[in-house]
Structure formats: C-alpha cells, structure tokens
Structure 1
Amino acid sequence: MHFVTGGAYNGKRKWVKKHYPTASYWCSAYDGAKMEPPVEGEDHYVVVVEGVEHWVGALLEEETTLSAVREKMAKGVQAWLEWEKENDKRKLIIIGTDISKGIVPIEKHDRMWRDGVGWVYQDIAEQAEKMDVIWYGVAQQLK
C-alpha cells in the first residue's frame, strides 16, 4: 500500500495520476463512494482510495468515541489490504488530505474530527509500504 497525503488542493490526485497511470478504479469519498474493496471478479489491479478524512467525519456522526471511529476505519483499511494481498498484481494507493495544520478548531466536534483523522493517518502510515507527502505538487517521500 502506498499512502499519499498533503494539504487540500496541493496536487495529490494529479501526482497519483502521473505515478500510477494504470489506476483503473477510484474509490472516492468525494463522489459518495463507500470505503469498500471492488466486487470480486472485477479486473482492477491499481486502485486509488481517496477522501479518508470524509469517511472519518461520517463515522463521527454515527459513533460517540474516537476509538470506535478509529476501530471502524482500521477494519475498512484492513479489508483493502486483504484485497491487495490476494493478487501480486494488485496495488492499493490511499490518498488522505492533511487537516492537522493551522489553528485548532473551537468546536469540540471539529477538534474530534481533526484528532480522529490524525490517528487514522498514523495507523495507515504504519501499515504503508510507501508514503509520500505532497505540498504544492512536490512530493517528499517519507517511507
């Protein structure tokens, strides 16, 4: 799995498209997709999952604790990792927007969202084989 993060509108999607031109499936929270692997039998080998911060925000509407949100997100990521490991040709790329910079939000819910996204990204980064941060279209490889 390759985790790509960076600020909003900093060129993450463009960078991924350039480095993974054979990506055949985009699972995007921005388009309302659920964080679920493709249906078995579909010939997708390079898959991009984007909008992790949106899925965390949606889970915060359902769950009352950040630990529950983190656990559900871990299960979702695990399902994708299992999908990737089922076939040596498969490659998973996860894109997540960094929302941790700037002023700490005043509203408790917004702070919980920010904290939850940070913890989920730590979990994803720990499992990633590769990790890049994209700022202003320029990548910095961290892992």
Structure 2
Amino acid sequence: MVVAVRLKIKTADEKEITVPAIANTGFESDKPEIIIPREVARNLGLSPKKLSAEATIEEYRGAGGKKFKAYTLKSTAKAWVVTEDREVGPVDVVLTVVYGEKDVLLSDKAIDALNLVLLKPGAGIWKFFDEPPEKTRESIKP
C-alpha cells in the first residue's frame, strides 16, 4: 500500500484535472514538484508540441540509477489535496512530464507544501499537519 491522495491540478492557462497522486518521499526535489504521466499532460492541454515550446528537457535518475528524460514546465501550476471534508491548497508546484510513467507522483517538497503527514505509509495512513493527533485518513486507490 502507498499513501495516495486526490489531487487537483490547475495550469497557468486554467486547465484543470483531479487525479490520484502518490506521496513519494523517495522523490527528492529542491522545489514542490509533481511528476505527471503523458496522459495527464494531454488532459491538461500539454501536447508534445506545447511541451517542446514550454518545457525544459532534464535528465532524471530513478530507483536503481536508471536515467530518463523529463519535461519540466517553465511556468508553475497550482495544486490542492481534496478530501471528503476539506481542500488544502493552492500551492505553487512545478509540473514535470515523464513519458512511460503511470502514476502522478508528489515530491518530498510537494508533500511538505501540501501539509501532508505520512503516519503509516505502508498501511496508507496519513493526515494533514494541522489536524489533531487522533485524526487519521486512509489513502484512496492510486
């Protein structure tokens, strides 16, 4: 199991989507960053042509040292975590498109910016930073 939350993303040109996102503390970044798959990028109006004009190509290294190309948008987007009883955000995030990725992934800094606290990641248990100690939440299905 992983910690997965419902995430709303809005681009600078007001395209919006709500998707499951995995809180991945192993995804270290120096800024709040969200990796999105190509399909999510398309749904946000980010075609390959638009990506080539509005993104920088960077080399990332995944688990096991595997290198891959990523398209990091030059403009920031907004993100919110949406639950049945509240919405947290917006926070400014950097969107990075990775072809071949299947999941939306939150970086360590995005997890912090969205005030997520991973209580028992293996069991999918989390909460927001400002919630009382006894409050817990369960992951959605990624």
The answer to whether TM tops 0.5 is no
Between 1 and 2, higher relative CO (CA 8 Å, sep ≥ 6) is seen in 1
Greater share of residues in helix: 1
